Amino acid sequence: MPVTIIYTNEVSEYDFGIGHPFRSIRYKLFFNYLKEKLREGIDYQILQAQPVTDEDLLLICSKEYIDYVKNFYESAYKGEINYLVALSSNFISIDNIPGENPGNIEKAARFILGQMRLACDLIEGEDYKKIFSIGGGLHHAKPSFGEGFCVYNDIAYGAKYLIEKYGYERILIIDTDAHGGNGTMEYFYEDPRVLFIDIHQDPKTIYPGTGFVWQTGEGKGKGFTINCPLKPGASWDSYQYVFENVVFPITEEFNPQIIIRYGGTDPYWNDSLTYLGLKISDFRKIGEYIRELSQICDGKVIDAIASGYNDKAISSGWLALICGLSELEIEIEEPEEVPEKYLQDPVLKDTKEMVKELKNYLKKYWKCMS
């Protein structure tokens, strides 16, 4: 069966405008590259989704927030934005304020959630095991606050939708974005039905400043939030160590019914907003690890891809993730010469110390960590 990609043209409107890091050029770059490398209808298929409604959004957002952001981004799209009013808002952060000539961001965000909903519905049938949502993974958004370029959290929506509609009891979310998924973490911090594992750059060195090893959940959710912060410069050896010593054993013990993974190319060694050290070939390895993990849950994976702030890496990096998860053996070149310092992990020792500390926090909740 061809690789299943969900992408709706309206998602290209998720563009914060001139001067903002998050632009819609990423989608054009990726799909042009995809068409060069693979054959549509044979190697991959593209499905389109419908937007979610206000009623759907109430699953994860307050009505006040929905009403505010709808009006705010419609005004921004029309060029009528009042920046002083926006900055005084209790609903959005400064990095969610568009620049000049933005797209219809709120409308596009509804389509991104619609893609996640469609992915959940399809994976409940017998014909689909692995589905990719291009443009998805808005993991910083919270119930009543948008930040980090994220308006509505489609990852949280997907997990809650699977719980509410299909009765899921064990969902694994793996976040490999370079920034900690603070919004997703907040949604499920007290929920033992969702195991949230987040591999990201040390929050002392990068936005959003959360995702420390000691943040492990609250109440019934204690132990079900697992943060794996990596020192700047961490490359594949660190990721491999975390997967093999934390992600694999805990996933096996948790025994999830499905995996939702998110993360684009912002852990790339030359990303403009982050300081990690992955090569394009390493993104394929992440996909391969997720595919291996999914054997626990009958191969079921919903994969959301959107991040990355180096245009040279987006196309090849996104496709490398897809190929690794889908077991597609095609050659994907490195877009830039990789500096020698990233060929051997400069902070592996620090990563091992982090994992040791993390295990001390988790050993009372997971047998495999003791």
**Structure-block tokens of residue 84:** 């002083």
- pLDDT for 88 beyond 80: no
Residue 341: predicted pLDDT? 86
- pLDDT for 334 beyond 80: yes
Task: Delimit the domains of the chain by residue range.
Answer: 3-369
Report strand pairing: 171-175 vs 194-201: parallel
Question: E-strand spans in the chain?
Answer: 3-6, 44-47, 130-134, 171-175, 194-201, 225-230, 258-262, 301-305
Query: pLDDT-derived band of residue 335, with 50, 70 and 90 as boundaries?
Result: very high
- Averaged confidence pLDDT in the chain: 96
CA–CA gap between residue 369 and residue 361 (Å, rounded): 9
Distances in whole angstroms, Cα of residue 283 to Cα of each of 161, 195, 239, 338: 28, 22, 10, 14
pLDDT in tens, 225-280: 999 999 999 999 999 999 999 999 999 999 999 999 999 999 999 999 999 999 99
Query: pLDDT-derived band of residue 1, with 50, 70 and 90 as boundaries?
Result: confident
- pLDDT for 150 beyond 80: yes
CATH architecture of 3-369: 3-Layer(aba) Sandwich (3.40)
Distances in whole angstroms, Cα of residue 339 to Cα of each of 205, 245, 279, 346: 22, 27, 10, 12
Average pLDDT over residues 119-146: 96
* Residue whose token pair is 């000691």: 214
- The residues assigned a catalytic role are 140
Closest-CA residue to 61 (of 50, 71, 69): 69
CA–CA gap between residue 175 and residue 264 (Å, rounded): 10
- pLDDT for 87 beyond 80: no
pLDDT in tens, 182-222: 999 999 999 999 999 999 999 999 999 999 999 999 999 99
Residues 6+ apart with CB under 8 A from 121: none
